[in-house]
C-alpha cells in the first residue's frame, strides 16, 4: 500500500490526501478511498500503483514484483515525469527525464521525517499558527467527552492565563463543572427529551410513576462502543451508538455556543472557535474519525474535514488519569531540555475505572440487604443508577480513610419502596425509616478495590522502570480529588517519587489541558 501511495506521489508531485484531516485518513482508507490518477500518467504505471493499494492486501504485488514492473517500464521508455509538478525538485521540466534518473529527486512532504519529536512539535506549532491566521481563530474550547461525565473549558487566544471552565448547564445546574453523559429519549427514541443530570432518574413521585416511562428511555455509557474492548463489555443500546454520540454532542454543543455567544457576542462560532476534543489514549484512528463525523452531524463544525476540530489524547504528560468513568490511563513522558514533553515512554490503560469498581462493590453490598430480586427490579426500572449517583456524589471526595473523620452515611431509599415486595425485607426497611446506614468499614470496603487497582498500576510501571528516576506524579481527573486516593498514593510512593501533585481543579484538568493544547 505504501509503495502505491509513493508511486502516486511521484507521479503527481503532491502530498497524498492533503485535503483530508489526519484523524479521518485511517477511516477513509479502510473504506476504500484512494487518490485519483493524474492526467497523463502512463496506463501501466497507473495500473501498478492501483494494484499496490488494492482493497484486498493479498492481491497487492510484493516489492520484487513492483521492481520488476518498474524495470520493464524503464526499458520500454514509457515513463516520463510530467512538467506540471512544481513540488518535485532537481528536475529539468523541459526534458523528458526517465524513471531511472529519479534517484536524485526529492519530494516536499510534511508526512516525511516524522521521527523527530522536536520536528513534530515545531510542525504542530506551525500548523496551529497557520490555522489561526487562515481561519481567524479567537477562542479555543476544550471538551472532555467522558463516559459518565462531560464538561468543557474555554479561553480567548489573547488571554492565555485565563482558562475558564463552564459550571452552568441547561436544566438549572449551577456550580457543577461537569454534567452526566446521559440522554433521555422519547418513547420512539427519535428525539432527546432530557440530557445531562436532568436525564438521570430522580426519586419518583406520583406524577412520574407511569410504567415504561422516563427510565426506559435513558441511554448511557454509549462511548464504550468506541473503545477497543470485547463486545461483551459494550452495553446494549436501544439506539445506534453513533446517534447517541451525535445527539449528546448536539446538546452540549448548544451550551458551548451559548456560552461563547454570551461572553463574546461579536464572534462567529464556526469562524472564530477552535474545538479540541480530548479522547482516551486507547481510541483508534477509526474511533476518532467516527467522533469527527458525529461532531459534524451534531452541528459543531461546518465541514467534516474542518481544521477547526482537533483531537488530543487525555494522557499527554508519570500522569495518572483516574476519571469518573471506566477509563484509567497511566502514562510516562520524559521532559526534554527545551521543556517540551518527549515521547510516551510507557503507558498502561484500563477501561474499568473508578465508577465501575465503586458501582460493583456498592451493588454487592445492597444485594446483601435488599436481595437479588429487588436489586434486579431497581436496575430494570432505572432506580439503581440514582442510588449509585447519590452515594458517589456525597462520598467519593469526602471519604478520607480515617475513622476519626468519618460520619455514618445515610443512604435514603424511600423512593424505592414500591419495588420491595418481600414482606420481611419491607418490615426491616420500615423499621429503619427507609434509610440504610453505611459504617466506616463498609465504606472502606467499597472504595478499597479501586484504590488498590490504581496503586497496582503505578507500582507495575515503577517496577518496570527501576533504572529511571521519576520527578513527579500528576493526578488528574474526577476521582483524583479523593482525599483517600491522594493519601494512599503518597503513603505508598512518596519514597520513590518526590513530587506527587494534584493540579487546581483536577476534575477539569483534561478539558483545560485540551484548551492549552489548542492555544497558539
Return mean pLDDT, the chain. Answer: 77
Evaluate if residue 369 carries a pLDDT over 50: yes
Evaluate if residue 16 carries a pLDDT over 90: no
- Phi and psi at 437, nearest 5°, equal -85, 130
DSSP 461-517: HHHTTTT----EEEEESGGGG-HHHHHHHHHHHTTT-SEEE--SSGGGHHHHHHHHH
Angle at 164 between CA 161 and CA 165, to 5 degrees: 145
pLDDT digits (tens, 9 = 90+) for 463-500: 887 777 777 888 877 777 788 888 999 999 988 888 88
What pTM was computed for the model? 0.64
pLDDT digits (tens, 9 = 90+) for 314-349: 653 345 544 444 445 666 666 655 555 555 545 555
Mean pLDDT of 107-124: 42
pLDDT for the residue numbered 107: 36
Look at residues 465, 478, 466, 470 and name the one whose alpha carbon lies nearest to residue 497: 470
H or E stretch at 319: strand 319-322
pLDDT for the residue numbered 35: 87
Mean pLDDT of 55-75: 86
For the record, the C-alpha cell of 8 comes out as 502516486
Look at residues 227, 228, 225, 247 and name the one whose alpha carbon lies nearest to residue 236: 225
Evaluate if residue 389 carries a pLDDT over 80: no
Top-confidence range, 89-103, 132-146, 233-247 = 233-247
CA dihedral in degrees (70, 71, 76, 80; nearest 10)?
A: 50
Evaluate if residue 108 carries a pLDDT over 50: no
Domains of the chain: 2-104 (1.10.510.10), 123-318+510-518 (3.30.420.40), 364-446 (no CATH)
pLDDT for the residue numbered 125: 54
Q: Residue holding cell 468543557?
A: 152
What does the alpha-carbon distance between residue 428 and residue 495 come to, in Å, rounded to a whole number? 49
pLDDT for the residue numbered 346: 56
pLDDT for the residue numbered 342: 54
For the record, the C-alpha cell of 133 comes out as 491566521
pLDDT for the residue numbered 245: 97
pLDDT cut 70: percent of the chain above it: 73
Q: Report residue 73's pLDDT band, with 50, 70 and 90 as the boundaries.
A: confident
pLDDT digits (tens, 9 = 90+) for 169-210: 976 667 788 898 999 999 899 999 999 988 875 544 444 444
Least confident of 37-41, 143-147, 250-254: 37-41
What does the alpha-carbon distance between residue 70 and residue 227 come to, in Å, rounded to a whole number? 42
Evaluate if residue 13 carries a pLDDT over 70: yes
Evaluate if residue 118 carries a pLDDT over 60: no
CA dihedral in degrees (485, 142, 281, 112; nearest 10)?
A: -140
Mean pLDDT of 513-517: 89
Instruction: Specify whether the CB–CB gap between 384 and 377 falls below 8 A.
Output: no
pLDDT for the residue numbered 235: 86
Angle at 326 between CA 257 and CA 310, to 5 degrees: 35
pLDDT cut 90: percent of the chain above it: 25
pLDDT for the residue numbered 338: 54
Secondary structure class of 337 (helix, strand, coil) = coil
Look at residues 280, 316, 322 and name the one whose alpha carbon lies nearest to residue 486: 322
Mean pLDDT of 217-227: 88
pLDDT for the residue numbered 317: 36
Q: Report residue 357's pLDDT band, with 50, 70 and 90 as the boundaries.
A: low
Mean pLDDT of 376-402: 78
pLDDT for the residue numbered 19: 64
Mean pLDDT of 254-260: 96
Query: In 76-220, where does DSSP find H-type helix?
Result: 117-135
Top pLDDT among 116 and 275 is at 275
Amino acid at each position: 500500500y505504501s509503495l502505491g501511495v509513493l508511486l502516486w506521489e511521484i507521479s503527481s508531485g503532491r502530498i497524498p490526501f492533503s485535503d483530508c484531516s489526519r484523524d479521518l485518513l485511517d477511516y477513509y482508507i479502510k473504506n476504500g478511498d484512494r487518490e485519483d490518477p493524474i492526467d497523463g500518467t502512463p496506463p501501466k504505471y497507473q495500473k501498478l500503483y492501483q494494484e499496490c493499494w488494492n482493497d484486498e492486501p493479498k492481491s497487492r504485488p510484493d516489492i520484487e514484483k513492483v521492481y520488476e514492473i518498474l524495470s520493464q517500464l524503464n526499458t520500454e521508455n514509457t515513463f516520463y515525469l510530467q512538467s506540471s509538478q512544481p513540488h518535485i525538485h532537481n528536475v529539468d521540466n523541459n526534458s523528458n527525464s526517465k524513471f531511472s534518473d529519479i534517484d536524485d529527486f526529492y519530494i516536499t512532504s510534511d508526512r516525511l521525517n516524522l521521527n523527530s519529536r522536536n520536528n513534530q512539535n515545531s510542525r504542530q506549532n506551525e500548523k496551529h499558527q497557520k490555522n489561526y491566521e487562515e481561519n481567524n481563530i479567537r477562542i479555543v474550547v476544550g471538551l472532555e467527552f467522558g463516559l459518565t461525565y462531560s464538561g468543557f473549558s474555554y479561553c480567548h487566544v489573547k488571554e492565555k492565563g485565563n482558562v475558564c471552565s463552564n459550571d452552568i448547564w441547561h436544566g438549572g445546574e449551577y456550580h457543577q463543572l461537569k454534567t452526566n453523559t446521559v440522554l433521555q429519549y422519547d418513547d420512539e427514541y427519535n428525539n432527546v427529551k432530557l440530557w445531562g443530570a436532568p436525564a438521570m432518574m430522580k426519586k419518583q413521585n406520583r406524577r412520574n410513576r407511569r410504567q415504561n416511562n422516563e427510565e426506559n428511555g435513558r441511554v448511557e455509557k454509549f462511548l464504550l462502543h468506541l473503545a477497543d474492548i470485547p463486545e461483551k463489555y459494550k452495553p446494549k443500546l436501544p439506539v445506534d451508538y453513533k446517534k447517541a454520540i451525535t445527539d449528546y454532542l448536539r446538546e452540549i454543543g448548544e451550551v458551548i455556543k451559548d456560552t461563547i455567544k454570551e461572553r463574546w457576542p461579536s464572534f462567529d462560532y464556526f469562524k472564530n472557535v477552535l474545538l479540541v476534543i480530548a479522547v482516551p489514549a486507547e481510541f483508534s484512528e477509526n474511533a476518532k474519525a467516527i467522533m469527527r463525523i458525529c461532531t459534524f452531524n451534531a452541528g459543531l463544525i461546518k465541514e467534516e474535514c474542518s481544521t477547526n476540530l482537533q483531537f488530543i489524547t487525555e494522557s499527554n504528560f508519570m500522569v495518572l488519569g483516574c476519571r469518573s468513568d471506566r477509563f484509567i490511563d497511566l502514562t510516562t513522558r520524559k521532559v526534554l531540555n527545551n521543556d517540551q514533553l518527549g515521547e510516551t515512554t510507557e503507558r498502561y490503560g484500563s477501561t474499568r475505572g473508578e465508577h465501575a469498581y465503586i458501582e460493583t462493590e456498592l451493588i454487592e453490598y445492597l444485594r446483601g440487604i435488599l436481595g437479588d430480586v429487588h436489586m434486579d427490579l431497581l436496575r430494570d426500572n432505572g432506580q439503581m443508577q440514582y442510588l449509585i449517583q447519590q452515594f458517589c456524589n456525597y462520598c467519593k471526595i469526602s471519604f478520607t480513610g480515617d475513622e476519626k473523620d468519618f460520619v455514618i452515611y445515610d443512604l435514603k431509599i424511600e423512593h424505592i419502596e414500591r419495588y420491595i415486595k418481600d414482606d420481611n425485607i419491607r418490615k426491616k426497611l420500615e423499621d429503619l425509616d427507609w434509610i440504610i446506614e453505611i459504617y466506616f468499614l463498609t465504606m472502606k470496603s467499597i472504595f478499597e478495590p479501586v484504590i488498590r487497582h490504581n496503586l497496582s498500576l503505578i507500582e507495575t510501571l515503577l517496577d518496570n522502570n527501576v533504572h529511571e528516576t521519576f520527578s513527579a506524579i500528576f493526578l488528574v481527573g474526577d476521582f483524583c480529588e479523593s482525599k483517600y486516593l491522594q493519601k494512599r498514593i503518597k503513603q505508598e510512593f512518596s519514597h520513590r517519587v518526590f513530587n506527587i501533585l494534584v493540579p487546581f481543579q483536577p476534575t477539569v484538568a483534561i478539558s483545560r489541558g485540551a484548551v492549552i493544547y489548542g492555544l497558539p
